[in-house]
A and B are shown apart, each in its own frame.
Chain A
Amino acid sequence: DIQMTQSPSSLSASVGDKVTITCRASETIGRFLNWYQQKPGKAPQLLIFGASTLQRGVPSRFSGSGSETDFTLSISSLEPEDFATYYCQQSYSDLRTFGQGTKVEIK
């Protein structure tokens, strides 16, 4: 199975900060990489697919980049509603796998 490793596991930031989360695949996956946001007690929501394409309705402060094995999710200026846990997921393999998550907390 393809292993997905996110870093950091958690971070503290303030409203207005720029935040970057990285995701590394154990083997090359092209651009078959998605990002999800999950808030406590809620289902995950799709943010970005294909490494860099914003899902409809997602604010433009979110962006994604990368290819093959190394990917990043950036939030240009944190808003209060962005404090959540973020997961990457590869869809290159039939057996889809998620990263372990990155929790973004309020400093």
Chain B
Amino acid sequence: QVQLVESGGGVVQPGRSLRLSCVASGFSFRSFALHWVRQAPGKGLEWVGVISYDGGNQKYADAVKGRFTLSRDNSKDTVFLQMNSLRVEDTAVYYCARAGEDCSSWCLDYWGQGTLVSVS
């Protein structure tokens, strides 16, 4: 079955960096775009960014553009979110999610369990 497992979260000081990973299994990883979505404590969902199936194209929310970078290693079924110049307002649970199959990539059909990033 499809699984996405995030890791790399933790406590970090403002201005420092952190790299999150999302390991996929149960599907042809190299055929799907992957998104990151975050959720601050007690708040709603916020889309962070997306990386295309081959890693050649990325898009980012304005709130993280220039600070966060997406990459992927299709040989290891893994996508990475490099977060630099972290701010207190980046504190959130970070989810990776697959661009949906039945919806022709227009939706997010599988999500990981999330990893918590705390900037303080």
Q: How far is the CA of A101 from the CA of B39 in the complex (A)?
A: 12
Q: Is the CB of A46 within 8 A of B109?
A: yes
Q: How far is the CA of A100 from the CA of B47 in the complex (A)?
A: 12
Nearest CB of chain A from residue B8's CB, rounded to whole Å = 17
Q: Is the CB of B106 within 8 A of A95?
A: no
Tally B residues with Cβ within 8 Å of A. Answer: 24
A-B contact count (CB 8 A): 69
- Whether a CB of chain A sits under 8 angstroms from the CB of B45 is yes
Partner of B47, one of A43, A85, A95: A95
Nearest CB of chain B from residue A104's CB, rounded to whole Å = 14
Q: How far is the CA of A99 from the CA of B47 in the complex (A)?
A: 11
Contacts of B114 in A (CB 8 A): 43
- Whether a CB of chain B sits under 8 angstroms from the CB of A98 is yes
Q: Is the CB of A49 within 8 A of B103?
A: yes
Residue of A nearest to B95 (CB): A43
Q: How far is the CA of A62 from the CA of B69 in the complex (A)?
A: 37
Q: How far is the CA of A87 from the CA of B43 in the complex (A)?
A: 12
Q: Is the CB of A96 within 8 A of B109?
A: no
- Whether a CB of chain B sits under 8 angstroms from the CB of A7 is no
- Whether a CB of chain A sits under 8 angstroms from the CB of B111 is yes
Contacts of A36 in B (CB 8 A): 45, 108
Q: Is the CB of A34 within 8 A of B107?
A: yes
Partner of A46, one of B46, B47, B50, B100: B100
Chain A residues near B (Cβ < 8 Å): 1, 32, 34, 36, 38, 43-46, 49-50, 53, 55-56, 85, 87, 89, 91, 94-101
